[in-house]
């Protein structure tokens, strides 16, 4: 297939999480592609480094000053590596001379200067001289690049957190912005792309506070034309035609409701709201002398009457036979007898003492399914899956369950469930 046939003709959105997981999402078709590239805290971007029309990943590693460019959206080594700029410089990817090839330019927030560079760095070497250098914006402005006027040449845009304005220029020259408008909230992360394929790039915003990305098809004040759930650093590009998700979930979880297992009513007046940002596994820590609802009613009694908590500590229980039980409403943060802040944690307890017991295959199967559902439902990466002992001094969730976390087996099972179409769960 010729490379051009893979070009979608529109820009999609990429979200890159703190662990280096890339999620490419086509906001129009729902197509998506996920892969690992880079290290935690690398600065991600995308561009067409080999001039075939398809954008692929790039990274700036601040700790070493290196840039890594790859020509396919997949896990693998960089095809080009070079040194980039000075510490504090921000890489801005784009086609700054309209030749059909993307390069990396420098935005230097310290003195609000732009250094336009139309060649990629030499492999193993450094960047060449800037073709143009000029001042644009104020120190501290957040830069991005795009083609605001449709002439196929990318130029700089800035978002200024102090006044909430976006400033766009159509020239590689100092001077006032050609377009400026009020857009976004404090803390928003700006980026740009051609979401509707009309040849004009417009500004998108990722808002960490709501774990949502907002896309607008004109460079003007107003509401989003499209929104995308999920957290990470936002990037944009024509990543080619992304695989569309298979229709319908790959599997459905049946959850036993609180009413069915005979839970006490929660003391909802004492709940604290939170928003789920990670997925955390506990074990019950008690051996399986009894199992099922009588056991869970006992846990809940201890948590409410013994510990003084408003409800069972956990959001989901996974029984010995893999049955999934409704716990605390996940809109509210859980509780713990150990020293860590449970805000943001979706807490799953797996029945057993996995210092002694081994998790049953049915439990592991249900655990992966519940985590896959939660990952998609809350827009949090499977990379956030961890055990209680990653957050507090405890043996929980026990060595025999921890082994599936440290080997990566649980996360990869969760990812493959998502890739196969995800998991359905009707919370009772
Ligand atoms: Ca390319
Ligand atoms: Ca170029
Ligand atoms: Ca332009
Ligand atoms: Ca557009």
- Return the H-helix or E-strand segment holding 387: strand 386-387
Enumerate residues with CB within 5 Å of ligand 2 (an ion).
Answer: 95, 97, 99, 101
Query: Of the bound ligands, which one is closest to the alpha carbon of residue 119?
Result: 2
**Residue 4: what pLDDT?**
40
Half-sphere exposure of 261 (CA within 13 A, CB side): 27
For the chain, the first-to-last Cα distance in angstroms comes to 48
**Residue 249: what pLDDT?**
81
Enumerate residues with CB within 5 Å of ligand 3 (an ion).
Answer: 147, 149, 151, 153
Domain 3-237 matches domain 251-425 at the CATH topology level = no
DSSP assignments along 312-349, one per residue: -S-SEEE-TTS-EEE-S-TTB----SSSS--TTEEEEE
Which tens digit of pLDDT belongs to each residue from 231-263? Answer: 899 999 999 999 887 677 878 999 999 999 999
Q: How far is CA 172 from CA 123, 130, 148, 176, 294, in A?
A: 26, 12, 13, 12, 71
Which residue ranges make up each domain of the chain? 3-237, 251-425
Where helices occur in 245-386 by DSSP H, the ranges are: 258-261, 293-301, 361-378
Residue 315 CA, ligand 4 centroid: distance in Å:
42
Query: Of the bound ligands, which one is closest to the alpha carbon of residue 200?
Result: 4
**Residue 289: what pLDDT?**
67
Query: Of the bound ligands, which one is closest to the alpha carbon of residue 156?
Result: 3
**Residue 242: what pLDDT?**
93
Query: Of the bound ligands, which one is closest to the alpha carbon of residue 54?
Result: 1
| Cβ-Cβ contacts under 8 Å for 315 (sequence gap 6 or more) | 327, 328, 329, 330, 334, 346, 347, 348
**Residue 231: what pLDDT?**
86
Q: Would strands 12-16 and 21-25 be described as parallel, antiparallel, or unpaired?
A: antiparallel
**Residue 68: what pLDDT?**
98
Residue 84 CA, ligand 3 centroid: distance in Å:
24
Query: Of the bound ligands, which one is closest to the alpha carbon of residue 93?
Result: 2
Query: Of the bound ligands, which one is closest to the alpha carbon of residue 196?
Result: 4
Q: How far apart are CA 368 and CA 22, in angstroms?
A: 21
Identify the CATH assignment for 3-237 out of 2.130.10, 3.40.30, 2.60.410, 1.10.15.
2.130.10
**Residue 5: what pLDDT?**
43
Encode the chain (428 residues) as per-residue pLDDT tens digits: 333 447 889 999 999 998 899 999 999 888 889 999 999 889 999 999 999 999 999 999 999 999 999 999 999 999 999 999 899 999 999 999 999 999 999 999 999 999 999 999 999 999 989 999 999 999 989 999 999 999 999 999 999 999 999 999 999 999 999 999 999 998 999 999 999 999 999 999 999 988 889 999 999 999 999 999 888 999 999 999 998 876 778 789 999 999 999 999 999 999 999 999 999 999 998 877 678 999 999 999 999 999 999 999 999 999 999 999 999 999 999 999 999 999 999 999 999 999 999 999 999 999 999 999 999 999 899 999 999 999 999 999 999 999 999 999 999 999 999 988 899 998 98
In eight-state DSSP terms, residue 65 is: T
Where helices occur in 121-183 by DSSP H, the ranges are: none
User: Cis ω on the peptide bond leading into residue 397 (within 30° of 0)?
Assistant: yes
Q: How far apart are CA 278 and CA 406, in angstroms?
A: 17
Tell me the CATH architecture of domain 251-425. 3-Layer(aba) Sandwich (3.40)
């Amino acid at each position: 297939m010729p490379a051009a046939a893979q070009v979608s003709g529109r820009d999609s959105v990429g979200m890159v999480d703190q662990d280096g997981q890339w999620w490419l999402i086509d906001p129009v078709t729902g197509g998506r592609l996920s892969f690992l590239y880079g290290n935690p805290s690398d600065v991600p971007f995308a561009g067409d480094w080999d001039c075939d029309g398809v954008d692929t990943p790039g990274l700036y590693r601040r700790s070493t000053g290196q840039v890594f460019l790859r020509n396919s959206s997949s896990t693998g080594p960089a095809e080009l590596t070079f040194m980039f700029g000075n510490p504090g410089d921000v890489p801005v990817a784009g086609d700054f001379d309209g030749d059909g090839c993307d390069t990396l330019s420098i935005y230097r927030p310290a003195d609000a200067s732009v250094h336009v560079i139309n060649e990629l760095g030499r492999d193993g070497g450094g960047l060449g001289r800037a073709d143009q250098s000029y001042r644009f914006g104020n120190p501290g402005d957040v830069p991005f690049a795009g083609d605001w006027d449709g002439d196929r040449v990318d130029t700089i845009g800035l978002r200024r957190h102090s006044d909430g304005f976006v400033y766009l220029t159509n020239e590689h020259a100092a001077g006032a912005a050609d377009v400026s408008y009020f857009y976004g909230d404090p803390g928003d992360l700006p980026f740009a792309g051609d979401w509707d394929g009309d040849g004009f790039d417009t500004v998108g915003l990722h808002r960490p506070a709501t774990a949502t990305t907002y896309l607008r098809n004109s460079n003007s004040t107003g509401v989003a034309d499209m929104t995308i759930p999920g957290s990470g650093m936002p990037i944009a590009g024509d990543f080619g035609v992304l695989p569309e998700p298979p229709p319908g979930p790959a599997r459905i979880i049946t959850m036993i409701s609180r009413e069915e297992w005979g839970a006490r009513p929660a003391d909802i007046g004492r709940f604290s709201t939170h928003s789920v940002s990670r997925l955390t596994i506990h074990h019950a820590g008690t051996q399986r002398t009894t199992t099922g609802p009588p056991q869970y009613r006992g846990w809940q009694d201890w948590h409410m009457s013994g510990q003084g908590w408003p409800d069972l500590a956990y959001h989901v229980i996974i029984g010995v036979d893999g049955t999934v039980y409704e716990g605390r409403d996940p809109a509210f943060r859980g509780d713990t007898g150990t020293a860590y802040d449970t805000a943001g944690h979706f807490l799953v307890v797996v029945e057993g003492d996995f210092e002694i017991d081994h998790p049953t295959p049915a439990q592991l199967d249900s655990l992966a399914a519940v985590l896959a559902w939660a990952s998609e439902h809350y827009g949090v990466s499977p990379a956030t899956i961890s055990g209680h002992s990653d957050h507090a001094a405890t043996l929980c969730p026990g060595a025999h369950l921890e082994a599936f976390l440290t080997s990566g087996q649980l996360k990869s099972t969760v990812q493959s469930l998502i890739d196969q179409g995800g998991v359905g769960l009707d919370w009772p």
